[in-house]
Structures are given as C-alpha cells and as structure tokens.
Structure 1
C-alpha cells in the first residue's frame, strides 16, 4: 500500500466534513496515512481548548496520526489577518512537517487554501516526494470573487498568487478537481489534460438516503411539513444551507411569491447575512417559511421529507465551474433538484433528467422550473430522484471517489519507489 501524508490546514475537531472523510476513506483502502494540519481554530478564529497557537504536537484522532503545526489563529473579515492565518500555517508546516513528508510515498494536498501546497512543494524539492493536488477552490479566482482583496494591492496580490498556484500545478504529480468545468478551466491555463482528473466530493452517506431510510432511522422525527404547517401532499421545496450573497436567494423567494407557483411551498433552512432581508422580503407570505439551523442528521431527515431539494448560486464565473455539495446531498437523498445556477451544477442535473434548472436572478425562469416540478405526477418526481441517486452512486459516492484517489496516489507512489530503487542501485554500482 502507498504511504500517504495528507496535507490540509483544517481537520477534526474543527467542524469540517470533507477533509476527515477523505482521510478515513483512504485509510479504509488500506493506505498508511499521516495527517499534517494546523492548530484547530476554525471557524471562530480562536484556538480550541487544550491547544496552543504556537504548539507542535502529534496526536491520535479517530485512529490516525495527526501532526499539528503552529499558526496565527484568525477567521474574520480582515484580509490581513486571513493572509497571516494561511501564510503562518503554510510556513510552519513547511518547517516542521518535513519528517512526515520525507518518509511518505506521496503527499495529498487538500487545496483550500492554495497555500497548503507549500510544504508539499518544499518536500518535492528537498526529498523528491511527489504530491497530488485535490483542488477545492480555484485560486486566485475564489479569493478575489469573494471581495477578499481589492484595489491596487489586490492586483499585485493577484499576480503573486497566480504565479504561485501555476508553480504548484507544474510541480504536482497529478491534479484532481471536483467538477468537469474546473478541469476545463485549469487545462485552459496550461495544466496538461492527462494530468487532470475529476474526483467529486461525496457526502456523509450514513445520513443520506431515500426518505424511507431516513424515517426508519429516526422514527420520532418531526417532519418538515409539520414544522412549518404544510398539509401532507403539498409540494414542498427545501433550501438548506447558508443564506449569503453567494447563494443569491432573493430571486428564489420572489419566484415563490408569484401567484403562478401557488401549488408549492418553499422552506429555507439555515442562517446567513442575507436571511434578515429575505424574511423582510417574504413578509407574511403563507407559502414561504424560514427555519433556524439544525444538526447534520436532522437536516438530512428534513431533506428526506421535502419533495424537491434546492441548490442556488450567484451568477459568478467561478461558480459555473464548481460543484456545490448540495448537489451530491440532493442526489444521495433520492430527491429531484431545482438548481438555480449556471455551469456544472445545472448541467449534471439536466443531463441526468434529475430535476430542473434556471439561471441565477431569472425570476421568470425559476417560476417556470417550479411549475414544471409541481405539475409532474408523483411517480415521475420519484423517478427523477431515483435517476439522481443512481448518478450519485455510480459517479460521486465515497467508494467511487476513494477508488479514483487511491489509483492516482498509487501511481504516484509507484513512480516514487521506482526512482528510489534506481537511485539505490546506482549508488551500489558506484560503490
């Protein structure tokens, strides 16, 4: 099996689902794996109890060896403090993580932030340890699309970040991305096509499944319809997640305020900076309901109760090449999707005939998509959900993603071992 050092800035006990899920999936494949990460401080920006910001520490977390290195703790709106957070950990992991990287067959870098590649890049230069990038967010696009940096200093930073990420791509053994559009974008920026693979993120499958499975797991669960006072049998659309600018939910709310959608109800579950404005917009509308955030398992049950799961993204070029986890969650739950987005998220639903899509901000198109999903017979709606679930199981599930990652990492590890064997043989011949 291939010895892997998994480089990711955030890890358990921080509330991040994807990084530890990847680690455990690779461990289940039989790979010896060590995690190189930071002192836990996400999402509050405060170091968690039992840890210190400047500590180097090795511990066991869920059966895995985890090496933590220092960082400047921060997660607020300050660009300077966020740069210090990213940069301080990248430098400390580079300085104090080489022991784990030198002995690995390959490093896997969870590339969000992109600065996480620095310790693996250094290990490649120092010891020849190859690394594989798993790109979650395309930099510098993501940090500038979010308004993280701007002005003249932002333009300078843009050039520097772009040069850095291009360097990391060029030195990587392989680059895995989470959507087809992201692969196309990176290929247009010079990454060879044979160096790129799509590995979709998966979701916590113990919580995902058709609604009858969820009901069996939680027999005392209060249904979504009961929570908001919707009569059984009425088509219920559920948006579950952050209410922020990136989701652009105003058009969705306006579409449900339209009298042409009076056969359907919308439930918005979660919180965020735009929620107050959305509540004011909806007013006392009888078909629009707001729920506060709930824990993960309860949210999975509520998704199982809904007739349609909603995905929404703003009309930004970057979002057209991403695959939000809400798509996988909806597919895994066996629910048809209403996708209000451009690019990959809409394309995968349309191509699978697993729901309906509309452009961001286009109230008229959203109304028509709601009408389509509301007017379908229940059997056809169920068939849409089944097609989405089959797509998830065949292309996006944990077993599929872990196999793809394992194949990529095994290939890099074999090439590394062959080089070391050849080098040893040359040294013996010289002696």
Structure 2
C-alpha cells in the first residue's frame, strides 16, 4: 500500500509517523509518499533540497519525497503555494508508486494531500482510504486565513466543492471523533462510509510516571497546594485567557495555582493579563520535552484542556486528551463538544463550558475540594478508558482492517463506488 502524507519524520508531526509504524506492526507492507521536510519553520534542513526527489529508508520503510515550495508562515499565498506544490508533485512523481499499490491511505491534513489519491483512483482504479484530521474549509477559516470579507466569499465555494469530492471518491473515510463523523455525515457522506478512528499517543512515553521532584519547589508550592496545569500551545484556539480570568475569581483561595507549560503567540498576552489582574498564583513554565512531560504532569493535581468557543471545536478532540488519559491524570475540560464528552463518558474528570471564566472557576473550586485520592482514581479511570477505546491497539487494528477491506474489494473487481457529499 501507499501512505500519502505531506508531513512525515523528521518533521515533528508525530501522528503520521505513528500511523505508518503501527500499520507495519499490523502486518501491512507500505511505502510512504511525502514531501521535503520543512514543517514547522518553513526551512528545509541540511541534506535536502526543496526541488529534488529523494528515496530513503525510515524505520524499515521506503520513504519517497517529492518537491514542494517550503513555507509555514502567516502568508496565505505562500501557504497555498506549499499545499499546491506538494499536491502536484506527489501526483506526478508518485505515479509509479500509486499505480502499483493495491490501496492508498491518505492522511488528509492539509486536504490537498488527497489530490494524489484522487488522481490514482481516476487513472488506475486504485482505491484510497481518507483519514480526515481536520474538516475543511472550516479549519482553514478558523486559523485566520481568509477569515472574512471578499477573500472568504471567493475561496469558500471551491474549497467546499473540492473537499466534498475528496470524500466522494474515497473508498472509506475515517474521522477522529464521533462529532467529526456526524459533521461529515451532515455534509452528505454516507454513514456506512465513515468510521471513527481515534488518534492515539506515544504509549511508550505517555504513561503513568512518578512526579517531577523539583517542579513544585521551583514554583514555590507546597505539597498541600492545589495545582492545575495546562501543557501545550498557547494560541488563540486554546482560549487560555479564560483560565487566567478564572484565577481572578479564585483570589480567595490562595492555595489554588495554575501552571501554563509551553509557548505560543499568545504567551506574552497571557503574561500581561496575569500581571494586570495581579495574579501571583498563575505560573508560566517553558516548554518541556515530551519524554519529561509525564513526570511534569504527575506533579500537578489536575490537567486542563482548553479550547475557544468556536463551532469547529465542537467536533475536535485535541490530542492532549489522549496523552493526559494515557498518563493516568484527571482532566478538567473547558471546551465544547467531543473533548468534554469523552471525559464525561470516561468519568475521568470535570467539565466547564468554553469561554466562561466564572463557570471554570467554579469547576476548579469543586476539584480542589475533592480528596486527592478521588482525583487519582479519576485519572486511572481515564487510563482504563484510553486503553479500551482510544489506544493504539484497537485503533490501529480498525484502520488496518479498513485498508485491507478496500484492497480486497479492488481484487474482487468491486471497488467502493464514489457516492455522497
């Protein structure tokens, strides 16, 4: 089979790399069709040229790299050039790989990565399974590109038409959450053509750990202080200003602390907000390497998952939910839709509505008043749920079965017919 993904190691986009490794462990033979490394800086690392093709070995798999325009900045025009150049080069230079494949698996972020799979389907009847990671064009506009005005009015119809056709021509479509599946069905994709395949985490790293012995001391906290932690990107999508404002409501509880671990474009704004509100209990911690994150999380009492109150995020399950649950940590969601639903179903934490600092403050009070043993039991319930529903073993098997089914239909001469959307 051919695995088509614009991003791949050594780029720090871990999910497509995990997918390839897991499918190998499921017994599938695959070649990777990807682009020249340039994410997330837009700079091509030493040893590569943006305009050359390469074939190399990675984890025992052949990796075929095709040229692209390297960019990952805030310019919509350059981002379009990046996406379009890979879509074109993977279709042209990946033709021999795709033509000989029984089936293609397309990692659809960006959605334009599906062009190579669609071309192979039309030219040689090669079926493809489409892994939808984010729903276009919603996610395009949510990131701030073409967010409004004439540009959006011009771009939205062709983007919607193109995305719908990627679903139509796919043999099968996977969604990362139940809410995303329902969103795809509402757009006309037949229900029997869409399956939920959750993204899993690096289970060798993200697992229960002993607490980092130095973190609380560095923050000036005692063992009795209650520590809520957020770890990850500090951007507009996370809506972390709500968490800072919630701490303003908790000034009467000086033993409650919030640690924001990581970085992002909103971090200076959040620092300024905490200073303006006079909040010494809000701590900013530099980003931590992934291998050390389980111990850092274990030093806190509760992990925060925060998303802004936007329609797109109602069917978004942030990968940090799986990471937190795999580590056996309790969760507080301040997010819409699937993130809160999973936590409630797993009984591994508490929830507050997104965008409401007063409701979040109330939920933090509730958590701080719970016995620590109860919080630990919530965390372990989350790990049990992760292993049963969200983990690699079950979801990699589900994905491998879908790929094998698509290949088997082709061998029988009955590939899945385009339909819906």
TM-score between the two structures when normalised by the length of structure 2:
0.95
Q: 2:309 aligns with which of 312, 315, 332?
A: 315
Contact 1:341–1:360, Cα closer than 8 Å, also in 2: yes
- Counterpart residue number, 2:267: 275
- Counterpart residue number, 1:425: none
- Structure 2 residue runs of 5 or longer lacking an equivalent are 416-421
Q: 1:289 and 2:311 equivalent?
A: no
The Cα of 1:222 is off from its aligned counterpart by: 4.3
Q: 2:184 aligns with which of 163, 183, 186?
A: 186
The Cα of 1:260 is off from its aligned counterpart by: 4.5
Alignment of 1:23-422 (within 5 A): 23-149=20-146, 150-212=148-210, 221-258=212-249, 259-283=251-275, 285-419=279-413
Contact 1:181–1:344, Cα closer than 8 Å, also in 2: yes
Bigger mean CA deviation after superposition, 26-35 or 277-286: 277-286
SS at match of 1:42: coil
Q: Deviations over 1:150-205 (max 9, x none)?
A: 32232221111110111110110000010110000010000011001111111111
- Counterpart residue number, 1:218: none
Q: Deviations over 1:272-312 (max 9, x none)?
A: 11111211221263321111112111222211222111100
* Alignment length (residue pairs): 411
Contact 1:246–1:313, Cα closer than 8 Å, also in 2: yes
* CA distance 1:103–1:260, shift in 2 (3 Å): farther
Rounded to whole Å, the distance in 1 between the matches of 2:362 and 2:209 is 26
Rounded to whole Å, the distance in 1 between the matches of 2:152 and 2:358 is 37
The Cα of 1:315 is off from its aligned counterpart by: 0.5
Rounded to whole Å, the distance in 1 between the matches of 2:332 and 2:14 is 24
SS at match of 1:36: strand
Contact 1:263–1:374, Cα closer than 8 Å, also in 2: no
Rounded to whole Å, the distance in 2 between the matches of 1:316 and 1:82 is 23
Rounded to whole Å, the distance in 1 between the matches of 2:252 and 2:26 is 51
Contact 1:36–1:66, Cα closer than 8 Å, also in 2: yes
Contact 2:208–2:294, Cα closer than 8 Å, also in 1: no
Rounded to whole Å, the distance in 1 between the matches of 2:214 and 2:134 is 35
Bigger mean CA deviation after superposition, 275-284 or 138-147: 275-284
Contact 1:339–1:345, Cα closer than 8 Å, also in 2: yes
**RMSD over aligned Cα atoms:** 1.4
Contact 2:177–2:317, Cα closer than 8 Å, also in 1: yes
SS at match of 2:303: strand
- Structure 1 residue runs of 5 or longer lacking an equivalent are 216-220, 422-431
Contact 1:209–1:332, Cα closer than 8 Å, also in 2: yes
The Cα of 1:351 is off from its aligned counterpart by: 2.3
SS at match of 1:211: coil
